[in-house]
Amino acid sequence: MAATRKPEGNADTAAEAVRKFNHATLPNARSRSGSLHYPGQAYSSVAAFKRMAQNLPQSFEQTSGFLTRLHLDGTLTADYGTVADHVSEAEAALAEVSRCADMLADALNRAHSALSPIGYSGEIED
Question: What pLDDT digit, counting tens, does each position of 79-121 carry?
Answer: 999 999 999 999 999 999 999 999 999 999 999 999 999 999 8
- The answer to whether residue 9 sits within a structural domain is no
- The answer to whether residue 43 sits within a structural domain is yes
Cα–Cα nearest to 97, from 40, 47, 59: 59
How much is the CA Rg of the chain, to the nearest whole Å?
20
Q: Number of structural domains, the chain?
A: 1
Contact in structure between 42 and 116 (CB atoms under 8 Å):
no
- The answer to whether residue 18 sits within a structural domain is no
Summarised one tens digit per residue, pLDDT across range 23-59 is: 999 988 777 878 888 999 999 999 999 999 999 999 9
Q: How many CA atoms lie within 13 A of 111 on its CB side?
A: 18
Give first-to-last CA distance, the chain, whole Å.
45
Residue 110's identity, in one-letter code, is: R
User: How far apart (Å, rounded) are the C-alpha atoms in residues 84 and 76?
Assistant: 9
- The answer to whether residue 102 sits within a structural domain is yes
- The answer to whether residue 92 sits within a structural domain is yes
Cα–Cα nearest to 94, from 60, 71, 62: 60
User: How far apart (Å, rounded) are the C-alpha atoms in residues 64 and 50?
Assistant: 22
User: How far apart (Å, rounded) are the C-alpha atoms in residues 74 and 68?
Assistant: 10
Q: How far is CA 7 from CA 20, 59, 80, 98, in A?
A: 20, 10, 26, 18
- The answer to whether residue 120 sits within a structural domain is no
- The answer to whether residue 1 sits within a structural domain is no
- The answer to whether residue 49 sits within a structural domain is yes
Would you say residue 124 has pLDDT above 80? no
Print the domain residue range for 71.
38-115
